[in-house]
Structure formats: C-alpha cells, structure tokens
C-alpha cells in the first residue's frame, strides 16, 4: 500500500496553490517539447472522445495550464491533418492521492474550460483506469515521490541505516542504493500500470527533478536544502525539543533519478518506445537568481504535511524557521555554482 504525501491544500499562505511557481517554470520549460511530441508522435485516433490524464495533479493551478497546452496541441494536430476538432470531446482526469485537496482543485476549475473534468483519487503506483482507455498521460513534479520510505534506512541493524539524516544526499552508498532500489521498484510498477491503460500509439510525458548519470554522486540543490532541514531538526534535538530517535526513524521518500536509471526501467518494461529523454536546467529561466524565502515557502507547501505527520506542527514550524535563519549559509552554497539543478523530461509512446 503506497503512503500518501499530499501537498498543502486550500489557498492560504503556505498552500501549494500559492507556492508552486518553481514547478510551473519546469512545466513551462517542457511546453515546446510536449507540443512537438503531440504533433509528430501521437498516433491514436483523434476523433470522438480523447482522454488526457494528469497523474499527481495536486491542487492547481499548474495542472490547468498543462491541460490547456496539451488540448491546444491536439487541436492543432487536427488542423494539420485536415480534421475538424469540433467533433472531438476532451475528457481530462485529475489523479492524486485520496488525501489531496480535490475540493480546492475543482472549485478553481477554469470556467471557460474546453473539457469534461473528473477526479480519480488513488496512488498512481497501481492501476487506476480501464485497459487501453488513455490517449495522453502526463505527470509533472510528482514521480520524485516514492511510494514509501525505503525500509532499510530506518533500521538500526541495516547497513543502510541513515542515522541523524532525513535524506540520502551526502549519505553513505548503502543509503543511496536503498533509495535507488525503491525508485526502480516503484517506477517499474508505474510504467507497467500505464502500459495497461494507454492506447497503442498514445503518449506519456513525464517531468521530474533528475540528475545526469555522470553527476549521480555529486551534491545537488534540493539535497542541500533537505540537509539543512535535517540539521535544523538535529538542532531541535540538541535543544531537547525532540528526541533524536524521532529523526532516525524519518526519511523523506523523495528520489531524483538519473536519465540512465529512467531509461533502464522503461526498457526493462518493453511496452514503450523512448521518443525523447533530456535533462535541462529550469533555473536557466530565472537567470540563476535564488530567492531563498520563496524556495523555503515552496518546500513548506510541498512537505509540511509529511513533516507534521511525523513530528507534529510545532516542531515542523520551528524546523522551517530555523532553516530560514541559516539563509546566508544556504545561499552561499547554492550560489557557489557547484550544485546541480536539473529537470528530467521524458516522452514515451505506447507500442
């Protein structure tokens, strides 16, 4: 059973709705790639009902922007093929965990949308749709979340015990390998489930944080931030606010794969052809300028729930405040130019 790690709902200060601009920059960076893939590679019948699914949609508004972009690309393909898109109907299914704030999502649906909308709650690490029912599958900044924390990293008897840390960044090889193994299992399940659901000739577009194979063991920006969150928790343990044992039993279930790791899982499945796989730097769109306050707000919007579930709200609040107090040290590291910030974009076609 996959665990649930929903983003902050509602539209408050720390909501994902108001703190997901970095994710939008990443999806915007892939707009051209998606349009090109639909125009040149989509090979399902584009008439009648055309089904699009966003796996890991969260609470918007990014999912709505992505949906409109894909629909416009499909309609343009119709024009190029001399077809009348007016005869088509678009069905868009928004998927996320059952704990996702679907109320906020559907309350903010665009009034002028050109599609029928449906919510499909449940983990995407299993089958969710009828066989051969999806024309176009999409997932953006969701698949870095594993189905669960690797068991070994919180086991004192394991060589992969990640004592005093909350993530694999900067940890021994055994810890990194435990995360990599969990990613391979989870992504294998995801790809197999989608292979059942996507029509032959249909496409799947995946966007997530990633790293080059050549830099798999080098530090990266998100890992730096995770380590500072962990050090802030350790500060709280030293101050006697929490027990260190609480930290030793907590690890973020987040993994940033290399392009080669992703390729390996896809090729092992054998049901998809890799039409495109690339790594880009989303920070190149903002001239490399780092707004740390905004970055921490984004982390809080995405991760406050999982921290609160384990440590409680008061400790989580203190952790984020302590991390902000280390801004100068964090910025010095992030702006040193020695850290990777890359996005993995993949276009797959169902054979």
Residue 217 is predicted with a pLDDT of 55
Does some domain include residue 198? yes
Residue 213 is predicted with a pLDDT of 76
280: phi then psi, degrees, rounded to nearest 5:
-135, 165
Does some domain include residue 164? yes
Does some domain include residue 69? yes
Strand-pair partners of 94: 54, 119
Residue 239 is predicted with a pLDDT of 97
CATH of the domain at 151: 3.40.50.150
**Domain span at 142:** 21-217+252-288+339-350
Residue 22 is predicted with a pLDDT of 82
Instruction: Determine whether 98 is exposed, middle or buried from the number of CB atoms within 10 Å of its CB (0-12, 13-18, 19+).
Output: exposed
Does some domain include residue 122? yes
Tokens found for residue 8 = 């902050």
pLDDT tens track, the chain, 351 positions: 567 788 889 888 888 988 888 888 888 889 999 999 999 999 988 878 999 999 999 997 999 999 999 999 999 999 898 888 888 899 999 999 999 999 999 999 999 999 999 999 999 999 999 999 999 999 999 999 999 999 999 999 999 999 999 999 889 999 999 999 999 999 999 999 999 999 999 999 999 999 887 665 556 678 888 999 999 999 999 999 999 999 999 999 999 999 999 999 999 999 999 999 999 877 655 555 567 788 889 899 999 999 999 999 999 999 999 999 998 888 887 776 555 568 999 999 999
Number of domains in the chain: 1
Does some domain include residue 275? yes
Does some domain include residue 228? no
Residue 94 is predicted with a pLDDT of 98
Instruction: Determine whether 321 is exposed, middle or buried from the number of CB atoms within 10 Å of its CB (0-12, 13-18, 19+).
Output: exposed
Cα–Cα distance for residue pair 96/40, rounded to 1 Å: 29
Cα–Cα distance for residue pair 23/109, rounded to 1 Å: 19
**What element of type H or E holds 292?**
helix 292-311
190: phi then psi, degrees, rounded to nearest 5:
-60, -50
Does some domain include residue 81? yes
Residue 247 is predicted with a pLDDT of 96
Distances in Å between the Cα of 7 and the Cα atoms of 65, 196, 301 are 18, 28, 6
Residue 219 is predicted with a pLDDT of 61
Closest to 121 in 3D by CA, of 144, 99, 145, 141:
99
Does some domain include residue 295? no
Q: 115 preceded by cis ω (within 30°)?
A: no
């Amino acid at each position: 059973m996959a665990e649930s790690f929903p983003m902050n709902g509602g539209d408050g200060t720390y909501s994902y709705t108001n703190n997901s601009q970095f994710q939008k920059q990443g999806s915007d960076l892939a707009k051209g790639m998606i349009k090109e893939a639909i125009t040149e590679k989509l090979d399902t019948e584009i008439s009648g009902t055309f089904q699009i699914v966003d796996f890991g949609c969260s609470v918007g508004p990014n999912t709505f922007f992505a949906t409109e972009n894909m629909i416009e690309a499909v309609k343009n393909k119709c024009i190029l093929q001399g077809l009348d898109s007016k005869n088509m109907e678009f069905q868009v299914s928004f998927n996320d965990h059952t704990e996702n704030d679907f109320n906020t999502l559907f309350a903010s649906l665009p009034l002028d949308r050109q599609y029928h909308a449906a919510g499909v709650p449940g983990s995407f690490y299993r089958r969710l749709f009828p066989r051969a029912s999806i024309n176009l599958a999409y997932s953006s900044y969701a698949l870095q979340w594993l189905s669960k924390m690797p068991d070994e990293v919180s086991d004192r008897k394991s060589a992969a015990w990640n004592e005093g840390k909350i993530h694999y960044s900067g940890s021994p090889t055994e810890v990194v390998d435990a995360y990599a193994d969990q990613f391979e299992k989870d992504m294998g399940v995801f790809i197999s489930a989608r292979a059942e659901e996507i029509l032959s000739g249909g496409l799947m577009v995946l966007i997530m944080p990633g790293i080059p194979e050549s830099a798999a063991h080098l530090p990266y920006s998100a890992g730096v931030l995770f380590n500072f969150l962990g050090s802030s928790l350790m500060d709280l343990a030293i101050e006697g606010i929490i027990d260190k044992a609480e930290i030793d039993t907590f690890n973020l279930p987040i993994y940033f794969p290399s392009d080669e790791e992703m390729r390996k899982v896809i090729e092992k499945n054998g049901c998809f052809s890799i039409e495109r796989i690339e790594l880009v730097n989303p920070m190149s769109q903002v001239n490399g300028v780092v707004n740390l306050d905004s970055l921490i707000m984004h982390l809080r919007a995405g991760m406050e729930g999982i921290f609160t579930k384990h440590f409680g709200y008061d400790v989580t609040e203190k952790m984020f405040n302590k991390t902000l107090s280390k801004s100068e040290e964090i910025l010095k590291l992030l702006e040193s130019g020695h850290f990777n910030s890359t996005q993995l974009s993949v276009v797959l076609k169902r054979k």
